[in-house]
Structure 1
Amino acid sequence: MLTIGEFSRISRVSAKTLRYYDQIGLLKPGFVSQDSGYRYYEVSQLRDMLLISRLKRYRFSLPEISAVLAARDNGRLAELLKAKKEEFLRQIENQRHLLLQMEQDIEKIERCENIMQANYLVKTVETQPKTIYSLRRKMSVRDFAEAFGALCAGLEKSRLKPAGPFLSVYHDEEFNHECTDIEVGVEVSGGSGEQVRTLALGLCCFATHIGPYDDFTPCYTALMEWIEREGYTVSGPPFELYVKGCDDNVPPSEYVTEIYFPIKK
C-alpha cells in the first residue's frame, strides 16, 4: 500500500485534496489506521485518481465524477464525454463569435466610430393574428431548452404540427435572468385547448438579428432608440421569432432571429 504522501507524489494531487476527496466520498483510502489515523491507498487506486484528474480537466463537476466512479459503466461514460464534447464545441463557436465581434470593434475604433452603434434596419409591419400553441411560466434563461422541450412534447401529444418558427413572448416589464414571465410557443394550424390561443399584437416594429441568442441586447437597443426617435410608444410585450436556429444545424453565428415590439402613436 501507499502512504498518503506517496500517493500524493505519484498522482500529483496534494494531500489536502486527497483528504477532501475522502471527506466527500469521492476517493476513500484503502485503509485508515485506527491508531494513527494515517491514510493508505492501494496501488490500483492510482487509476481512479488518473480518471478523476482527467475528468476534472474535462470540466466535470465532482458530483458528476463521483457518479461515474460509482457506476463503473463505460457506456455511460462515453455518453457523458460526448455530451461534454458538444458543450465544448458550443463554447468554441461562441468564442469564435466573440473574436469576430472584437475584430469588428477594433476596426470601428480605428475608424473613430462608436463600437456600440449597431447597424440594424428597423421596419414596421401590421402583424396578422396567429393561432399559437404555447407554454407560459416563470423561468430563468437557463430553462429555455427545457421549456421548448416541454412545448414540443405537448405538440406531439396534442397531434399538432408547427406552422411557423418557434417564438418567445416576454410578459414582464423588467427582465430578470433568474425569474422572468416568458411564454414559448409556435404557430399552429387550428387546434383547441387551454394552451392554444390567438396572438394578436397589431402594429409592430422589428429588426433582424444574426448571431447567437445571448447577443440580442444591441438589437433591442436599436429598436428602443427607433421607437423613441419616431414618436411611438410600446403597446405590448416584445417577442422573438426564431427564423433559423439550433434545429437548423447551423452555427450560432448564423442564427437568424426577428425581434418585435408592438407599438402605437
Structure 2
Amino acid sequence: MFKIGSFSKMSRVPIKTLRYYDQRDLLKPAMIDQDSGYRYYSAGQLLKIKRIIALKKQGFTLEEIKQLLAEDISFPHVKQSLAEKQHELTEVIKEAQRQLNELDTGLRCIEELDEQVSSSSIVVRNVKKQLVASIRDQIPQVELCLLLHELKQYIQLQGEDENRPMHILRHQHHHKRDHEDMVDLEVAIPLAKEIPDSDRIKIYELPEIPQAASYVHLCDPYQTACLAQSQLTTWISKNGYRPTDQAPIREIYLTADKDIYGKLLTTELLIPVEKL
C-alpha cells in the first residue's frame, strides 16, 4: 500500500487531483486510516489511474470515464462511447478549422487594409455605377448604426452578403436651428443581384462619378467632424480641381463588421470634382 504522496509521485498525478477523483467517486483510496486520516492506494490502482489519464487524453470527461471504467460495461457500450467521442472530436476539428480559416481571412484583410492606409495618397479616380440596397433618413449622426443595422438585416433576409463595403452618402440639407444635430444620411450596400425593395429600402444603381478625389484613411463613422474631409478639400483646391454637386460626398467603409478592431474603420472618402 502507498500513501497518497508516494502514489502521486509514482502515477505523476498531483495530490490535489487524486483527492478530486476521490470526491467524484472516480478513484477512491483503497484504504483510509481511521486514526490518522491518511489515504492509501494499492499497486493495482496504478493501472486504473493510467487508464483514467489515457481516456482524458482521448477527450473523455470524468463522468464519461467513470462509465467506461464500470465493471459491468459491455463491449457494445464501449464501442458506442468511442464512436460518439470520435464524432464529437471530428466536429470540434471542423469548427476549429473554420475558425482558423476566419482568422486567416482576417489577417489577410488587416494586412491589405494596413498597406492601403500606410501607402495612401490622394488620387482622382473614376467611380463606377453600382447596384445597391439603400436607406435614407434625417437622423443624428450617432444613430447611423441604427440605419446600418436595419439595412443589413433586410439584405441578409434576401440572401445577400451584409459584409460588403458600406457606402455612406452625405446629402446636403438645410435644417431648422433647433435641429442642427440632424444630418441627411443615406446608407447603401452593394448587391450581387436585384432584390425586392420595401417602404424603407430602395434598390437602385448608384450613378457613376466620372472624377472623384479619393483618400483612404482611418475614420470614426460616428463623429460629426472628420479631418480627412478638410484635408481632401484643401488638396482639391491646391491641385486645380473644384468640388461639384453632381453627387453627394461618399464614404466607403472598407472594413467589414466582423473585421473591426478598436474604434476606427478603414474608409475611402470620395468627393466628386471637376478640373478647373
TM-score (norm 1): 0.49
TM-score (norm 2): 0.48
The structure with more radius of gyration: 2
